[in-house]
Structure 1
Amino acid sequence: MRSRRIVMSILTFVLASVLVLAGCSKNNSGSSNATNSTPNTGNSGSEGSSGNSGGSSDSKLEKWGLDENLRFKETRKITVEIYDRGNDGGTPPEDNFYTDYIKEGMLRDHNVEVEFVPVPRWTEGEVINNLLAANQAPDISVTYSYPTIQTYANMGGVLDLAPYLEEAKDILPDLWDLLTDTNIYWDQDPKTGTIWALEARLAVLNRINTFVREDWLKKLNMEAPTNLEEFENMLKAFRDNASLLLGDQADKMIPFAISFDVGWRADHLTTSFVPDDITDKDLFVYGFDDRKFLLPNYKEAIRVLNKWYHEGLIWKDFSLYPAGDPTEDNLMKAGYVGAFIHNWDYPYRNGEDSIHASLQRMVGPDAAFVAIETFPNDAGVYRKFLSPPIDRKIFFPATNKEPIASLLYLNWISKFENRFFLQFGEEGVTHEKMPDGSYKALAATGEKIMNSPNNIDYTITVNGLDLGDPDLTVKSIANGYAGVDKRYIEIAYQASINEGRVGKNVNVGEIKAENGVGQALKEKRDTVLNKAIVAPVSDFDKVYDSGFEDYLRSGGQAIIDERKAKWEEFYGDKTMLD
């Protein structure tokens, strides 16, 4: 019965999300007043529209060099960014079974040759900065950092997509159906009408979960903790019963694991310290850091981590390993970790190489992490700050000489049958169809292995499954974890969205103070959090406060001030959005 209630809750949430996304639209009537000149739309030398979509369809196709089937009469070439995750046992991200599928399809359908340019996933912000500075960024580029795009747009290094989107809308039906006006116009400047990037659609809003070893709780005859005090007592029980739980490897005990990215890996804890009545205005003004570093009472959550660190409850080496390093995951797989906070389905990812599968091989069939809700806020709510329905930002550098071919590429990968194949692959090889009509992913090896979950690095216009039917989508998501009891997925899915607050679009145009400081502020934030956790308890306030003030002096305060002014310019004395 409980599983049935969980599934019904999941379906209700997903259906509501779909209806909200379908019903939301953004005013796109603003005309583009970009200061950089509009480059050629193709080899013919003709220019893009200045914002007027007049002209017959035939004349536009002729101008772009397209025939009536939307194939270029002369072969065009584009480059596309692809993340390189450095997966052991993976395939070259720029040359594999799935890139061949895309290349063959684009050449067949549009006479466009595609070349993939690999960019390291874990340093993508730095690398895309360098490529843009050197005028070597791929024609279709992707980043999670909008300020990076804005910085180069201000220097004339990024194309304004607004005129192209307006004129070419009728040849991009699949792109529009998937993203809708909401994501296409999400970043449109309310004054100039410029669009420097498209926001990919985040199809599943699940974000983060808190996980604990279910088998350890049973062995210690403990219930899952439901508040901060109980969670701390659980960690102490893990520490104090290390010999019982780990035997002769008791010295390897790690009650609670975090990483150098404290803001992400302590999210549920830090969120619980934020007052439940925080306004939309304050979330906008102080929420520009994606780890919520500037929200009220954040410091007190880090104080808890400082205390736990000195009580032997936190992994001592958490700050030593960079993004992508497998050390922490290997400790989880070996069975030494009792609890952690991470991506909503993190222990169940990657099939036979998942934490879940590895743990059961190493420890036994009962060993497993289960998602829990354990950090209520001041209102007793297990609040989660969920993402708005946006994901990666897709943009075209000014060096892109084929914007129409590039838009057709985005439309091609947004077409349902193409993204379905990229997400599921071949039936009987990488997926099977279940009796209820849902789809189940199969672990693949060799050339057909996927380097990222559901190939999200190739489906850059969408992150997460969207099968057009909410019920089918949720069932297929639950099927997608080889060797994992569906119960764990259902619990994790529901826990990650329960009592969530979905982000809203506050469109006030460019925040100039954010330009060029994003990476530096990110590094300062990570540094102060790492230092504050390991600082002597007596020095915590001094270390935290000095690092926080340095963050503000280095651009944080200027961003706060400009965001506050922009909010008041567009929304007056309102503190909440409709």
Structure 2
Amino acid sequence: MKAGARKFISIAFATLMLGSSLSACSSNGNQTSGNTEPSSSTQNTASESTSKKHRTLTVEVFDRGKPGQPDLNNNYWTKYINDNFGKQYNATVNFVTVPRSQEVEKLNVLMASSDAPDIVFTYDSATVYKYVQQGGLTDLGPVLEQHGSALTDYLGDDILKYGQFNGKQYAIPAKRTFLAGFNTFIRKDWLDKLGLPVPTTAEQFYETMVAFKEKNPGNVSGVIPYAYTLSSTNPGVGNIFEAFKPSNLSEKEFATLQASNLSVPPWNLPGYDKAVQYLNKMYHEGLISPYFATDKDGKQSDADISNGKVGAFHTNWDGPYRTAPGIYTNLKANVPDAELIPIGPWQNDAGKHPKQGYSPNGIYIFVPKFSKNADLAIQYLNWMADPKNTLFLQNGKEGEDYNMVNGVPVQTGTTTSGDKMMTVANNLDYDILSNGIELGDPEKNAAAVSAGYPGFEKEVENALKVSMEDYYAPYYYSMPNEAESKYRTQLTNLSAQLLAKLIVAKPAEFDSLYKSSVQQYMDQGGKALLDEYIKNYDAQNGQ
């Protein structure tokens, strides 16, 4: 074993027990094509490769433990890959399964023992950065320049930069095709009954909630104007704080005060105190869920919405239309005339309705330093960037697994079981280059994702549009905040406790309690997190 490998192994084993937080968001959707001929952009590279000796490329694949799933290394999709990429490049692609629920722990073990596949991936940038610091990853820049023209064109600099650490391209970020985050939904039938307009400001929203309570347009027992829950994993105030955050924050203020993970509220952000105070006022007037602090998983809130008791709520941009927990379907079954619509009531001082969504990058794909196949790995991703290959991997064969309707692939149902089963929407475990449906056109993508919600297609298209109004991404850092990784769990739990106390606090005591709460947060890790953001921002911007 080489000395460099032994050094990496010893360091990697020391970090095996460090926790990592993952976020995996995917959108529902579909895709197309059965043409298996190599495109002109890959012909030359393929012919060069086939003149060399046969090689084996190993690629990670998530094992999601889905009942009835096929052999993850021998199925319809792996055969397509080997019948096409494999033959073009004189290679065999073998897939190495990693349990989805334990992927970081398993990955650490594989990396430490030099048994990791040639292509591995994770959603956690901090994990990638650890490997970079330990010298465990291949610099893919030169290989990308030589073998990744289609890959580079598909991702572009704005996405590729998320895989750059210390000035080098250590990872290839997947493209997140949908950046939407959250929406506020309201019962339009209640507005219509009361003759009220759709609220567009925080003040109008508050007045609407008062009307919902006093007039109870749904004629229900225990009416809840605004369903709010204090999530145990992402405690916060939803998009409410956008109405109170100054629009003239400097870039540094935006980057350092609001850059933390969603699980850690931006306590020091100007206006955040006013957003919490807004909820405090609503609580004391009986306008929010009385059980908000104990319904940590949101199940009680979902039940109340489904039973027609709730006038408005905040959730994922497509939350009501999802089959699980089936909020809108259940609501329509219980209240046939009910109508939910997404709204933008959190207008800021500039007249905008800003909404933070996801960064344009998805999963991080990288190649261990000990791999002998970095060139073949980039050729594989470059092959995957070909639209016809993306189309097939996400949908199967046209006329058999899907039919093209108005430029959008509509699944026939063949990929839900047996050898063709997709264990995740859009088959993202094999089409690792795209996080979400990819048809090469945003409008077609939107139509395709909405087709994944039968009965709610038009509603979903509208919800996506509303969620992207005045969208902005989190600030891009070329290095992770290590203090955040260290203190995240502690600060998440503390923040939930502090928010619960602040929301029920006596109004006269709110200001002093907020001040002491922020101090407690800073003393228990918040200051270390903020200081590192400032340090990283200054280093990144040459200050």
Q: TM bucket by the smaller chain? A: 0.7 to 0.9
Higher relative contact order (CA 8 A, sep 6+): 2
SS of the residue corresponding to residue 49 of structure 2 reads coil
Question: Which residue does 1:460 correspond to in 2?
Answer: 432
2:39 maps to which residue?
Answer: none
SS in 2 for 1:260: coil
Please give the per-residue CA displacement for 1:458-489, whole angstroms capped at 9, x wherever unaligned. 54332233322344334434444311151x23
Residue number in structure 1 paired with 2:313: 340
Change in 2 beyond 3 A, CA 1:518/1:409: farther
Letter in 1 for 2:240: L
Of 451, 457, 460, the match for 1:489: 460
State the Cα distance separating 1:177 from its structure 2 match. Answer: 3.2
Aligned residue number for residue 49 of structure 1: none
Question: Contact (CA 8 Å) 1:253, 1:337: kept in 2 or not?
Answer: yes
Once the 2 structures are TM-superposed, how far is the Cα of residue 274 of structure 1 from its aligned partner? Answer: 1.0
Amino acid at match of 1:146: S
Change (3 A) 1:254 1:382: closer
Opposite residue 92 of structure 2, the aligned amino acid is N
Worse-superposed segment, 388-397 or 285-294: 388-397
Deviations 1:334-389 (CA, angstroms, capped at 9, x unpaired): 43332122222222234x9743333223321x323211111111222212234442
Deviation at 1:104, TM superposition (A): 2.3
Aligned equivalents of 1:337, 1:550: Cα separation in 2? 34
Instruction: Give the secondary-structure state (helix, strand or coil) at the position aligned to 1:314.
Output: coil
How is 1:59-138 mapped onto 2 (pairs within 5 angstroms)?
68-69=49-50, 73-81=54-62, 84=64, 91=67, 95=70, 100-108=75-83, 109=86, 110-120=91-101, 127-131=102-106, 134-135=109-110
> What TM-score do you get using the length of structure 2 for normalisation?
0.75
Q: Which AA in structure 1 matches 2:93?
A: V
Task: Between 304-313 and 256-265, report the one with greater CA deviation.
Answer: 256-265
Q: Distance in 1 between matches of 2:350 and 2:178?
A: 26
1:209 equivalenced with 2:209 (yes/no): no
Gaps of 5+ in 1: 1-34, 40-65, 121-126, 574-578
1:147 pairs with one of 108, 116, 126: 126
8 Å CA contact retained: 1:267, 1:341:
yes
Distance 1:70 1:353, change over 3 A: farther
Counterpart selection for 2:331 from 331, 356, 359: 359
Contact 1:262/1:530 (CA < 8 Å) preserved in 2? no
CA pair 554-369 structure 1, distance change in 2 beyond 3 A? same
SS, match of residue 161 in structure 1: coil
| 2:160 counterpart residue number | 184
Code of the residue aligned with 1:119 in structure 2: it is R
Secondary structure of the 2:75 match is helix
Shift of 1:281: 1.7
Asked if the contact 1:81–1:141 (Cα under 8 Å) also holds between the matched residues in 2, the reply is: no
- Matched with 1:24 is none
**What's the secondary structure of 1:251's corresponding residue?**
coil
Q: Which moved more, 1:463-472 or 1:409-418?
A: 409-418
What's the offset of the Cα at 1:273? 1.3
Aligned-pair distance for 1:516?
3.4
Distance 1:565 1:398, change over 3 A: same
1:556 aligns with 2:494: no
Instruction: Write the mapping of 1:324-339 to structure 2, written as runs, cut at 5 A.
Output: 328-339=301-312
State the Cα distance separating 1:227 from its structure 2 match.
Answer: 1.3
Q: 2:197 aligns with which of 219, 223, 229?
A: 223
Q: Which runs of 5+ in 2 are unaligned?
A: 9-46
Shift of 1:525: 3.5
Aligned to 2:32: none
1:212 is displaced (CA, Å) by 0.8
Code of the residue aligned with 1:367 in structure 2: it is A
Contact 2:181 2:467 in 1 (8 A): yes
| SS of 1:276 mapped into structure 2 | coil
Distance 2:350 2:229 in 1: 26
Among 240, 256, 267, the residue aligned to 1:285: 256
- Relative to structure 1, the CA distance from residue 236 to residue 279 in structure 2 (aligned partners, 3 Å threshold; closer, same or farther) is same
The answer (yes or no) to whether the contact 1:77–1:113 under 8 Å persists in 2 is: yes
Give the share of equivalent positions with the same residue, in percent.
28
Q: TM-score, normalised by structure 1?
A: 0.71
Deviations 1:37-77 (A, max 9, x none): 999xxxxxxxxxxxxxxxxxxxxxxxxxx982499725454
Aligned partners of 2:51 and 2:78: how far apart in 1? 16
Inter-CA distance 391–70: structure 2 relative to 1 (3 Å threshold): farther
> Cα 1:246–1:182, aligned 2, differ >3 Å: closer, same or farther?
same
Matching of residue 200 in structure 1 with residue 174 in structure 2: yes
Separation (CA, whole Å) in 1 of partners of 2:5 and 2:376: 20
The correspondence for 2:403, drawn from 407, 427, 432, is 432
Residues 1:252 and 1:226: Cα distance change in structure 2 (over 3 Å): closer
Q: Distance in 2 between matches of 1:456 and 1:386?
A: 20
Alpha-carbon contact 2:199-2:345 (below 8 Å) kept: yes
Counterpart-to-counterpart distance in 2, 1:144 and 1:376: 32
Query: Aligned partners of 1:273, 1:512: CA distance in 2, in Å?
Result: 29
Which of the numbers 483, 507, 516 marks the counterpart of 2:486? 516
Tell me the secondary structure at the aligned position of residue 516 of structure 1.
Answer: helix
Across the aligned residues of Structure 1 and Structure 2, the Cα RMSD in angstroms comes to 4.0
**Partner Cα distance (2:51, 2:144) in 1:** 11
Q: What do the CA deviations read for 1:93-115 (whole angstroms, capped 9, x no partner)?
A: x7479983433234442412113
Deviations 1:367-420 (A, max 9, x none): 232111111112222122344422333345678776556555544554423332
Q: Give the partner amino acid of 1:529.
A: L
